[in-house]
């Protein structure tokens, strides 16, 4: 399922950067590491270092500073971990991570990961397509959206003691977005288990959308008929729409999104042009006929 690679990981990433690339996260025994999928981007991508990826994060449950997640996320308990799956599915229930991923393969994929503040990283995620999980639980005909919820643990997450947003963090996708092979459930980075500050043990990655759509540390997934609420849309719908596609022609009310700053490129590096859908042109057909300045 998904795209076949037309080059190897060594064409993109120096071997010295790959860390135990066949290792996968604990508790998902039996999964195999498959080949990397090449993203459909116009320019060659050079992945950020593991240090950059794990020390510059948005994970407000651990604080609003970019360095806060790396400082405080170690308190998060990730073993055991379970995900409650419900709503319009044939097989609802609370699944352990191992049960939920049984029989799936984990692929090494390199994606450009964008955040709302117009900065970007290129991250080699390990994960599996979300559509595999949805097919496993059985999507019923009435389902039109997929809703997600992050863990909410005040005793482990110091950031939730402050009303930065409404907790717990929630997100959602239209069903066809969720079923697209570019949408993955990520379980690691650079062949290593997912660091806690990056959303351990399992998170969503939707590479053509702004980073806040890729919800971390997921504990609930529901298939629903109506468009679900999302955290940032609830906080400020004028600035953060449900779709949140990377779109250089639609500015955030407080800044332009036409260019982006690449983390790790150096303080004197020029900003580069932001690509529509982050360069993943194959998702454009999902939005044919939609006014993307209205449905942003």
The total number of structural domains in the chain stands at 1
**Given pLDDT bands bounded at 50, 70 and 90, which one contains residue 281?**
very high
- Is 72 a domain residue? yes
The percent of residues in the chain predicted with pLDDT above 70, rounded, is: 85
Instruction: Tell me phi and psi for residue 123, to 5 degrees.
Output: -120, 130
Asked whether residue 2 is assigned to any structural domain, the reply reads: no
pLDDT score for 233: 97
In this prediction, residues 114-141 reach a mean pLDDT of 94
Classify residue 99: in a domain, yes or no: yes
Find which of 111-120, 220-229, 245-254 is predicted with most confidence, using mean pLDDT.
220-229
pLDDT band at 105 (very low <50, low <70, confident <90, very high): confident
Range of the domain at 70: 9-287
Q: How confident is the model at residue 116 (pLDDT cuts 50, 70, 90)?
A: confident
Residue 13 clears pLDDT 70, i.e. is over it: no
State residue 144's pLDDT score.
98
Residue 151 burial (10 A CB sphere; 0-12, 13-18, 19+) = buried
Q: What token pair was written down for 212?
A: 């806040």
Q: Which band of pLDDT confidence, cut at 50, 70 and 90, is reported for residue 44?
A: low
Domain assignment present for 54: yes
Confidence label for 239 from pLDDT (cuts 50, 70 and 90): very high
Report the pLDDT value the prediction gives residue 117, as an integer from 0 to 100: 78
Domain assignment of residue 3, yes or no: no
* Mean pLDDT, rounded, of the chain: 87
Name the percent of the chain lying above pLDDT 90. 77
- Domain-located, residue 1: no
CA distance 78 to 202: 9
Q: How many CA atoms lie within 13 A of 53 on its CB side?
A: 24
The reply to whether 292 falls in a domain is no
The answer on pLDDT for 1 being more than 90 is: no
- Using the predicted structure, report yes or no on whether residue 48 has a pLDDT greater than 60: yes
Q: Can you give the CATH number for the domain in which 37 is found?
A: 3.90.420.10
**4 domain residue, yes or no:** no
Q: Tell me which residue of 70, 62, 235 sits closest to 152, measured CA to CA.
A: 62
Is a pLDDT exceeding 80 seen at residue 166? yes
């Amino acid at each position: 399922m998904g795209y076949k690679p037309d080059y190897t990981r060594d064409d993109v990433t120096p071997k010295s950067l790959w860390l135990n690339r066949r290792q996968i996260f604990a508790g998902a025994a039996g999964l195999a590491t498959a080949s990397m999928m090449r993203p459909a981007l116009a320019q060659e991508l050079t992945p950020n270092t593991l240090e950059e990826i794990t020390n510059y994060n948005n994970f407000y449950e651990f604080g609003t500073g970019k360095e806060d997640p790396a400082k405080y996320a170690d308190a998060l308990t990730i073993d055991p971990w379970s995900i409650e799956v419900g709503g319009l599915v044939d097989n609802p229930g609370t699944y352990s991570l191992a049960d939920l991923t049984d029989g799936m393969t984990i692929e090494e994929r390199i994606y450009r990961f964008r955040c709302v503040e117009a900065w970007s990283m290129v991250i080699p995620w390990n994960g599996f397509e979300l559509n595999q999980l949805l097919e496993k639980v059985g999507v019923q005909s009435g389902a039109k959206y997929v809703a997600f919820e992050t863990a909410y643990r005040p005793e482990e997450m110091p950031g939730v003691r402050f009303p930065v947003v409404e907790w717990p963090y929630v997100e959602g996708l239209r069903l066809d977005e969720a079923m697209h092979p570019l949408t993955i459930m990520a379980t690691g980075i650079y062949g290593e288990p997912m660091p806690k500050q990056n959303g351990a043990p399992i998170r969503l990655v939707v590479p053509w959308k702004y980073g806040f759509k890729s919800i971390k540390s997921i504990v609930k997934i529901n298939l629903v008929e109506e468009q679900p609420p999302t955290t940032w849309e609830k906080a400020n719908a004028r600035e953060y729409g449900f779709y949140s596609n990377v779109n250089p022609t639609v500015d955030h009310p407080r800044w332009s999104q036409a260019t982006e700053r690449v983390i790790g490129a150096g303080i004197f590096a020029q900003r580069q042009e932001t690509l529509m859908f982050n360069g993943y042109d194959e998702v454009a057909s999902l939005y044919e006929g939609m006014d993307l300045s209205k449905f942003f």
